[in-house]
Amino acid sequence: MALNNASEESTETKFQGAWRRYRRDTLSLFGLAFIIFLIVLAIAAPLVAPYDPTQIDLGATFVPPSPLHLLGTDYLGRDTLSRIIYGAQIVLTIGVTAALLMTVVGLLAGLVAGYFGRYVDELLMRITDIFLIIPALPLILIFVAVFGPNVLNVIVIIGLLSWPPLARIVRAETLSIMGRDFIAAEKTMGARHTRTIFRHILPNILSPIFVYSALGIANAILIEAAVDFLGLAPLSVSWGYDLSIALNYWVRGAWWIAFFPGLFILLTCLSFFFISDGLNEALKVE
């Protein structure tokens, strides 16, 4: 009982210490606040969006920011603010889900390679190298052409393109843990591989995983925006797609059509970068 209480207190103290270090960084706090705001906006989209994001009004095309349309309208008269709000749903869904897929694949590959070593390590690292050298754009073109453009396929292709760097990080961390005495003791006592990996190795390498996962979300959002911008998998409501269409009308003076989607892409990615940097500092062992 006393050991359990001590463990709980230790965990709580570590969490409090990490939060104390995290909140020292103003940019990290800004990033966290903005992402929380974006999540709330996405969840409450049906309540807060002033218009249907796909509603066409040819009598209100290219309306600049005004009381009726706070961020203006596009070439079809669709409300830019509403499209930004609903676009947050797509961006966060793809970004978080693709980063989760990347984390699971990279984590398993890195853990298995670092733990078993030898031929298993060699095989997994060669597969990792292949994925690292494959050009992203041709692979996206092939994948979309074969399986079709939709949210699920975009998530899968981003996740498959993003896991190799994390796998290498996890492998390196696992190799450093494998040389410690408590791992040797576990092996001497005949502990199962799964127990050693998930109970003793994984908890000791979570910090770099959290840090890279936050970067992975930002990277996934950028790839999604690039895919939509290039028209490879255009979604009905997407910041990247809106930005690509808007560039055709920039010369007409309709600056707001491109400015606001681009601004939200920038702020969202920067926020996750700031969060990752804050986690990197907060999770360092003092």
Distance CA 100, CA 110 (A): 15
pTM score of the predicted model: 0.86
Q: Indicate the range of 77-81, 204-208, 246-250, 271-275 predicted with least confidence.
A: 246-250
2-282 maps to CATH 1.10.3720.10 = yes
pLDDT-based confidence at residue 136 (cuts at 50, 70, 90): confident
Mean pLDDT of 130-149: 78
The one-letter amino acid code at 25 reads: D
Q: Look over the chain and give the mean of its residue pLDDT values, rounded to a whole number.
A: 84
Most confident of 110-124, 144-158, 190-204: 110-124
What tens digit of pLDDT does each residue of 14-69 get?
Answer: 667 777 888 888 899 999 999 999 999 999 999 999 999 988 888 888 989 999 99
Q: Indicate the range of 116-125, 220-229, 231-240 predicted with least confidence.
A: 231-240
Distance CA 54, CA 86 (A): 10
Domain ranges in the chain? 2-282
Distance CA 161, CA 220 (A): 9
Mean pLDDT of 4-14: 48
The position carrying tokens 């290039």 is 230
pLDDT-based confidence at residue 190 (cuts at 50, 70, 90): low
C-alpha 99, offset from chain centre: 4
- pLDDT of 238 higher than 80: yes
State the pLDDT at residue 143.
78
| Alpha carbon distances (Å) from 97 to 10, 63, 255 | 31, 35, 32
State the pLDDT at residue 71.
92
pLDDT-based confidence at residue 251 (cuts at 50, 70, 90): low
